[in-house]
Chain A
Amino acid sequence: MSDLDRELRDRLAVLESHAPGGAEPPSLRRSTRRRSFAASMSAAPVLLLALVATAAGGAVVVSNLAQSAPGIQNPGQPLAGAQMECLTPPQAAAFLAERGYTDVVWQIESGDPVAGKDATTTVQQDVAPDHGFVIPGSIIDGRLHMIVDQQVGVTGVGACYGAPQP
């Protein structure tokens, strides 16, 4: 063994001897599994309360979303069943204009979602872009918001799910 090896061995051994230890091994007479179960049971009321609160909070959020901004193509909405998801953005813009929707916010999602949050962008404009998947939106504060998804690898929605990106 060289001097270097000897020094390395001694330093590693000292490092290990100063590492935290000293804990007692688990008791073999009481079942750890039972203790874990007992601990879970004692935490059950807290977990149940958290579960109920989460469910209730989620329900409120979802119901508010549904009430405040129903999809323009949803049943009972002005353009129910229009299937604008199968149109190109310019075709969707023309379709909407024919029905009186001339003040439209076009929200364009682009970039590569797989590459991370910083690799995608969201831009809003008044004119429909020339390509991308149309995702029918909602009327928010009196203006119709339409989404156009140009992100890498995305698919269409609704009746045109899986179609090539326009």
Chain B
Amino acid sequence: MSVQTGRMAATSAVSKDDPGAFEAAVRPHYDGLTRRLVLVLGNEHDAQDVAQDAYLKAFRSWDRFDGADVRAWLYTIALRLAFNHLRGRRRWLAVLGRIETRPWTNPSDPDLWAALRRLDGRTRSALLLNVIDGYTQAEIARMLGVPEGTVASWISRGRTVLRTELGREP
């Protein structure tokens, strides 16, 4: 099966002087970002909310973008917002009891989705950035704002859990 990874679709350079440059550069990644956030947050509506927030925040920060990898930049903004969202959701769940938002109900690969859901949001994000997109541990560490060793342990743990859950030896 041939699947194009997000890394391959990354834009290498964009113009920041063109007024329409933001939409031209960022919009193509919006759909993929929403799908990624569904996997990270486990919920379609939360994913759309965070994707919208990330898009608007990216727009406001456009003048600070370094012009390198627009997809990595957008994902960095979105994933950090997603982690804040998960922290907020945990706090509300603690206050309100077990009021769960409706999870994504019809994944194409239920076993893999069930295994993925066993990982916390940060581990899941790091694993997806590494396995699907091919970002290095150092790149992911910069994106998520954590030490490289932490990313290494997250990815290792994520792989172990997925392989074990999917019936393979770690």
Contacts and interface: CB of A to CB of B under 8 A. Distances in A.
Interface of A: 4-5, 8-26, 28, 32
Contact of A28 (B22, B32, B51, B168): B22
Q: Which 10 A-B pairs have the closest CB atoms?
A: A18-B108, A13-B3, A19-B35, A19-B38, A21-B35, A25-B30, A21-B34, A21-B31, A20-B44, A25-B55
Contacts of A20: 34-35, 38, 44, 47, 104
Contact of B159 (A8, A15, A18): A8
A32 B159 CA distance: 39
Contact of A26 (B55, B116, B168): B55
Contact of A11 (B35, B55, B104, B109): B109
A44 to B, nearest CB: 23
A9 B168 contact: no
11 contacts: A8-B163, A12-B112, A16-B32, A16-B39, A19-B107, A20-B34, A21-B38, A24-B30, A25-B30, A26-B55, A32-B56
B71 interface: no
A22 B163 CA distance: 30
A28 B57 CA distance: 11
A8 B52 contact: no
Contacts, number: 88
Tell which of A5, A16, A22 has the most Cβ of chain B within 10 Å: A16
Interface of B: 1, 3, 5, 22-23, 26-27, 30-32, 34-36, 38-39, 44, 47-48, 51-52, 55-56, 59, 104, 107-109, 112-113, 116, 128, 131-132, 159, 162-163, 168
B1 A10 contact: yes
Contacts of A19: 34-36, 38-39, 44, 104, 107
Given A9-B132, A13-B132, A14-B1, A22 B168 contact: no
A23 B34 CA distance: 8
Contacts of A28: 22-23, 56, 59
Contacts of B56: 26, 28, 32
A12 to B, nearest CB: 5
Contacts of B3: 9-10, 13-14, 17
Given A20-B44, A26-B52, A12 B131 contact: yes
Contact of A25 (B27, B36, B44, B131): B27
Nearest to A31: B56
Contacts of B48: 23
B131 A8 contact: yes
Contacts of B159: 8
B52 A32 contact: yes
Nearest to A16: B35
A4 B167 CA distance: 12
Contacts of A11: 109, 112
Given A9-B3, A16-B35, 20 more contacts: A8-B159, A11-B112, A12-B112, A12-B128, A13-B3, A14-B109, A15-B107, A16-B39, A18-B107, A19-B104, A20-B38, A20-B44, A20-B104, A21-B34, A22-B34, A23-B48, A25-B30, A26-B52, A28-B23, A28-B59
